[in-house]
Amino acid sequence: MDYRGRIPERGTAMTDPTSRTTEPGPATGSANAAPDPAPLSPVLPPDTVAAWVAADRVQETARLRAQLAPVVELVSPLTDRFRFTGPGEVMAVLESAFELLDDIEITALTGSGRDWVLHGTNTLDGANLEEIQWLHLAADGRIDRITLFIRPAPAAISLLAKIGPPLARRGALLPGAALASRAAAPIAAVLRLTERVVMGRLKRS
């Protein structure tokens, strides 16, 4: 998969890295030389993925929910202790994230078949936060699993420190989750300080 291409608007061709034409490239000076690689064939994302991207860009929660399978699960980027299951819990996570994040943009999309990957950029309290959403589609075409990855580490831990209260308000976590979430705030502060003061001095120029 090529993660570098920018996501096109709906109706613009994309490239499928698993699909190539079979025509050989132009001949070279040597009869034994390998032919040039054939061009990639353009494909479009499934309707579910295209709708998900369009809705995510504008935080259209009803349209996002419509793309979810009844058995959908969201794999947390912050803990292995639990997963969010069902459209209600998954949407609680997304709505809580939308409450905290600014400058939300989907910048790239790649995939084929039932697996598609989105790259997104956001800011949290003015700091950069990047995410990868790995979407898996069920047999009926709706999303049945979302696996999230977040970087850099200070932003990811800062999100953990802030997302507990909105998740608890939406019923996705027990009320005590708000207190547990805030316990990560000192860790996030140390990581931000380390990144700002220390990390830049460690790399050879």
* Radius of gyration for the alpha carbons in the chain, expressed in angstroms and rounded: 21
pLDDT of amino acid 187? 56
Residue 50 lies in a domain: yes
Residue 96 lies in a domain: yes
The fraction of the chain above a pLDDT of 90, given in percent, is 48
Average pLDDT for the chain: 78
Domain interval for residue 70 = 42-151
Q: What are phi and psi of 11, to 5 degrees?
A: 100, -5
Q: Give me 106's structure tokens.
A: 């989907």
Query: What are the tens digits of pLDDT across the range 156-175?
Result: 888 888 888 899 899 888 87
- Give the whole-angstrom CA distance, residue 133 versus residue 143: 12
Residue 181 lies in a domain: no
Residue 6 lies in a domain: no
Length of the chain: 205
Q: What is the CATH number of the domain that holds 107?
A: 3.10.450.50
- Give the whole-angstrom CA distance, residue 41 versus residue 15: 6
Q: Give me 113's structure tokens.
A: 């078949």
- Give the whole-angstrom CA distance, residue 45 versus residue 66: 17
Residue 106 lies in a domain: yes
pLDDT of amino acid 21? 36
Question: Could you give the 3-state DSSP secondary structure of residue 40?
Answer: strand
Residue 95 lies in a domain: yes
Residue 123 lies in a domain: yes
What's the total number of domains in the chain?
1
Q: Give me 46's structure tokens.
A: 């499934």
Q: Which residues, other chains included, contact 62 with Cβ-Cβ below 8 Å and sequence gap of 6+?
A: none
